[in-house]
Amino acid sequence: MNYYSLREFIERLEFEKELVRIPEPVSPILEISEIADRMSKMPGGGKALLFENVEGSDMPVLINAFGSHKRMNAALGVHDIEEVPREIERFIKLSPPQSLFDKVKLLPLLLEASAFPPKLVGANKAPCQEVVHLGDDVDLSRIPILQCWPNDAGRFITFPMVINRDYSRKIRNVGLYRMQVFDDKTTAMHWHIHKDGAHFFHEYRRQNKIMEVAVAIGGDPAVCYSASAPLPYGIDEFLLAGFIRKTPVELVKCKTVELEVPASAEIVLEGFIDPAELRKEGPFGDHTGYYSQDGDYPVLHLTAITHRKDPIYLTTIVGKPPQEDFYLGNATERVFMPLLKTQAPEIVDMHMPVEGVFHNCVIVSIDKRYPLQARRLMSAFWGLGQMSFVKTILVVDAAVDVKNVESVLRVLLDTVDMDRDLFFPDGVLDVLNHASDNFLYGSKLGIDATTKIEGEPGYGATVETREPPTPDIVDSVMKQFSEVRAARVLELQVKRPVLLVSREKTGPFQTVEFIREFFQQAEFDAVAILIVFEGHVDVQNYSEAMWKLFNNIDPRRDFHFHEGRLGIDAGKKFPEEGYKQEWPDEIEMSEEIKNAVDKKYGRLFQ
């Protein structure tokens, strides 16, 4: 099933019992975030939430709309997400016609493809322009924009489909870029340096020309998804949406800027950016689970707000995983597999675990045919679009289920030679990566966990098996080291036992010294890998520990090898240790809001 508008999708979610309507009054300042965060962390992602009585606004708020595998399938009009990449493969694998008969066979596909590009409609067919506010009537305060987390710099529009064109006006870009509200008529435009929007902005900046921008909020689900997708440069996101919908996206010309927006959108913001004007934006509680740092970003001046007569404000929150964005990202993982395979046909499967928050960890299985093929694949990924930001890539054999954590860990701990199979190149990193000593770049980790073949280093070699740790090892560690708050042995019968430790760190080099001293103690010889976290980390919670590990390591700096054993410093770093960035705070909701939501939470879902 495909949808013309967001509200048709809402009807489907309600029919499928995937939507909860909440009539009780709620505040857009932190309360909605706390409720949505609790819902998103329920098994399977919980339900979509429609808040019908939001303080300070007549507009209802929809959140967590895409926050489950079932809802993402519904959003893309399929029963199984794998249907979309199979459909993409049909077009990618087209062979050039060799005869008239071949051309005739291609005709149905060509006719189908002709329906994908967007088409322009008149204002009379554009619900997004049923109400038009211009000049002094432009007022963002009418929209129930959320403040998501206590230390956020203010309210942020978190699901805006930002539309612009390059300086030549030949290429359109649609992307999701958060927008901090400065006042009723201005917002920030948070373009990361690596994104197409930022690239276009710098083109205008070099020419000292005003840049026009339009922002659509609450389009149909295929359009919303496509705006989040990491398409190659120059590919129109509305074309992808048309492919998913199997019908063209209808666009309408804006009222005050020379851009086009989805006609069925709920709300549209129009305006311009003066490239000479930058303003401090942030901090903001981001999808890494930490607050991203503030910085200077362009300012969007609004010239118009248009909307439906009864608009619905679509929004989302990001924070400690899992959140709604995990399911959008998982859809991208599956949808873009055929495109990755055109660059690396040996790929069998790929998985981005939720704890890796997209850019911190990717696990790939390959059909291996020649020596060092895994390293070739890693190098290809690190030079490929948004894959270039990935910090850790683990490559396994085709038979390994990349989504099965235990299977992957067994391969990692039973077969990987730490001297031979780990390597640490330098490269670009995501803007939100806070672990490396330097902003925007640092070390990466490649792990070749594939079976070695004839002619490859390590062929025929085996990994030394260590005796399992004794049952009292945790007590021994905590008795020996008073600063240790908790410890846990990874519960797997593997050749290299792993110990997770949380300990207080109050100054530089303490963790490195602890690792060295630990490995010098003969009573702990059974531990092959020691991972050290900050004192507040719950090492009994595997998911939390892995989230911390992927977020907080700069691999070359934080991997410490001792005679075939490995200690990993997964905690905060200090300037004395060479760290040049500012270590961010973790996202935590205030106790006041938690208590307020506790009192009403049960009533909301009766």
Tens digit of each residue's pLDDT (9 = 90 or more) over 46-103: 999 999 999 999 999 999 999 999 999 999 999 999 999 888 877 665 555 566 555 4
More confident residue, 467 or 447: 447
344-448 and 473-573 in the same fold:
yes
Question: Whole-angstrom Cα distance, residue 594 to residue 590?
Answer: 6
End-to-end CA distance of the chain: 30
Question: 592 pLDDT band (50/70/90 cuts)?
Answer: very high
What is the pLDDT at residue 109?
Answer: 52
Structure tokens at 38: 């609790």
Rounded to two decimals, the pTM is 0.93
Q: Which CATH architecture does the domain made up of 473-573 adopt?
A: 3-Layer(aba) Sandwich (3.40)
pLDDT tens-digit map of 28-55 = 999 999 999 999 999 999 999 999 999 9
Question: Hey, how many other C-beta atoms are within 10 angstroms of the C-beta on 405?
Answer: 16
Cα separation of 382 and 395, whole Å? 13
* CATH class of the domain defined by 344-448: alpha beta
**Range 78-87 contact pairs with CB under 8 angstroms and sequence separation of 24 or more:** 81/330, 81/331, 81/334, 81/335, 82/334, 84/244, 84/331, 84/334, 84/335, 85/334, 85/335, 85/336, 85/337, 85/338, 87/243
Active-site residue 286, yes or no?
yes
pLDDT at position 116:
84
Residue 392 has which token pair?
């850790």
Sorted by where each begins, the domain ranges of the chain are: 6-314, 344-448, 473-573
Residue 197 corresponds to which tokens in the numbers above? 């929007």
Quick check: 334 pLDDT over 70? Answer: yes
Task: Kindly give the residue spans of alpha helices, DSSP state H, lying in 99-163.
Answer: 100-113
Chain mean pLDDT for the chain: 93
Integer-rounded Cα Rg, in Å, for the chain is 26
Number of Cβ within a 10 Å radius of residue 536: 11
Of all residues in the chain, the percent with pLDDT exceeding 90 is 82
Catalytic residue among 220, 286, 430, 554: 286
Tell me the CATH architecture of domain 6-314. Roll (2.30)
Which residues 6+ apart lie within 8 Å of 190 measured at CB?
177, 178, 179, 180, 281, 282, 284, 297
227: pLDDT confidence band, cut at 50, 70 and 90? very high
Q: Please report, for the chain, how many H helices and E strands are present, in that order.
A: 17, 30
Residue type at 53? N
Q: What is the mean pLDDT of residues 10-14?
A: 96
CA distances from 482 to 503, 507, 533, 545 (A): 9, 16, 15, 21
Give the SS3 label for residue 274.
strand
Q: Which band of pLDDT confidence, cut at 50, 70 and 90, is reported for residue 465?
A: confident
pLDDT exceeds cutoff 80 at 104 = no
pLDDT value at position 79? Answer: 92
How far apart are the C-alpha atoms of 359 and 382, rounded to whole Å? 11
What pLDDT, on the 0 to 100 scale, is given for residue 286? 96
**CA angle 145–147–151, rounded 5-degree value:** 160
SS (H, E, C) 462-528: CCCCCCCCCCCHHHHHHHHCCCEEEEEECCCCCCCCEEEEEECCCCCCHHHHHHHHHHHCHHHCCCC
> Which pair of tokens denotes residue 550?
């992927």
pLDDT band at 342 (very low <50, low <70, confident <90, very high): confident
Contact 276, 180 (CB under 8 A): no
**Residue 497, pLDDT score:** 95
pLDDT digits (tens, 9 = 90+) for 373-409: 999 999 999 998 889 999 999 999 999 999 999 999 9
